[in-house]
Amino acid sequence: MLQKDLLSIDRMTKEDVADLLKAAHEMKTLYKGGGTVDSLKGKVLAMLFAKPSLRTRVSFEVAAVQLGGHAMYITHGEVGLGKREAVCDAARVLSRMVDGIMIRTFAQSEVEELAAHASVPVINGLTDRYHPCQVLADLMTVEEAFGSLEGIRITYIGDGNNVAHSLIHGARRTPIHLTLVTPEGYEPNKELVDAGKTEIGDRLRVLHDATEGAKGAHVIYTDVWASMGQESERQKRLNDFAGYQVQETLLEKADPGVRVMHCLPAHRGEEITDEVMDGAHALMFDQAENRLHLQRALLHILMGAQ
């Protein structure tokens, strides 16, 4: 069973991931059928945001409410986390008042520090380094679309960013084959890649050639070229990532049944074309919906069982 927090997927066992995905599928079926669970009755999730959000904020809030609980949206500007108040003190104070904390911020170390000092569960809602809830919902989505993760070839094309890093962790905990294709200089973190290759060998590849990477892929996944916090690099990145756009001609190299994923928000016309976003291969809106189902299961496991 999952430990107290969800900080990154590598902290989960293969069984934790499988159990969470199973619970998420069950919760989705239950709620689609009109059933409910009230395991968060009387409980409150504090959501701390240092960056903008649509999916993460709304899916966590709806999930908490649907489980009979409540979610509170708090911006870093109000709290002054690490400025007005030390992270360790905020963790202690929040632990006296709420039943769980979700945090979206820049430094992974801030999330780790919060979790170290909080007595209630802490969930990573995205850092510069990782986006674990996203990738767990992605794995659920792939399972749903293909019936299993066994032998599924996922090719991620774009920046070696937080989503790419969590995908590496996801590949270490599931049977997927993961190819990451980036321009030179934008590869994912070397230590993460090396650790991944040591553990799963050829199931993890890092390439620079998008056409080569797309060959035979069951899933082509992309994300923005400039993540939150990198806005000043946008113009340079637009130039550096030319040739890495997910477009119809690239999909022709992939498996005929290829599906296209994007964690969203998408920058249409940059990393992905309108045609692909609006086309028959698109899976990104299922992905977005599954954030809700996955996180409902997550909140139930981490906060509901106490």
Instruction: State the residues that interact with ligand CP by CB under 6 A.
Output: 53-56, 126, 134, 263-265
Catalytic residue among 10, 129, 134, 245: 134
CB of 229 to ligand NVA, least distance (A): 7
Choice between 227 and 273, CB closer to ligand NVA: 227
Listed in order, strand segments (DSSP E) in the chain are 44-49, 70-75, 100-104, 122-124, 153-157, 177-181, 204-207, 219-222, 259-262
Choice between 70 and 267, CB closer to ligand NVA: 267
Angle at alpha carbon of residue 292, lines to 271 and 248, rounded to 5°: 25
Q: Which does 161 bind (CB under 5 to 8 A by kind): ligand CP, ligand NVA, none?
A: ligand NVA
Q: Which does 227 bind (CB under 5 to 8 A by kind): ligand NVA, ligand CP, none?
A: ligand NVA
Q: Is 263 in the site for ligand NVA (CB under 6 A)?
A: yes
Choice between 131 and 293, CB closer to ligand NVA: 131
CB of 288 to ligand CP, least distance (A): 7
Whether 291 sits among the annotated catalytic residues: the reply is yes
Whether 134 sits among the annotated catalytic residues: the reply is yes
Q: Which does 173 bind (CB under 5 to 8 A by kind): ligand CP, ligand NVA, none?
A: none
Phi, psi of 227 (to 5 degrees): -75, 170
CB of 172 to ligand CP, least distance (A): 21
Q: Which does 162 bind (CB under 5 to 8 A by kind): ligand CP, ligand NVA, none?
A: ligand NVA
Catalytic residue among 55, 76, 104, 300: 104
Give residues with Cβ within 8 angstroms of 35, minimum separation 6.
none
- Rounded CA gap, 223 and 265, in Å? 8
Sheet with 70-75: strands ordered across: 70-75, 44-49, 100-104, 122-124
Choice between 69 and 183, CB closer to ligand NVA: 183
Q: Are 217 and 153 in contact (CB under 8 A)?
A: yes
For 25, 32, 94, 241, 258, the CA distances from 222, given in Å and listed in that order, are: 24, 28, 36, 12, 13
Q: Which does 223 bind (CB under 5 to 8 A by kind): ligand NVA, ligand CP, none?
A: ligand NVA
Binding mask 155-174 for ligand NVA (x = CB under 6 A): ------xxx-----------
Chain Cα centroid distance, residue 134: 2
Listed in order, strand segments (DSSP E) in 210-249 are 219-222
Choice between 162 and 179, CB closer to ligand NVA: 162
Whether 223 sits among the annotated catalytic residues: the reply is yes
- Rounded CA gap, 7 and 155, in Å? 24
User: Which positions are annotated as active-site residues?
Assistant: 104, 131, 134, 223, 263, 291
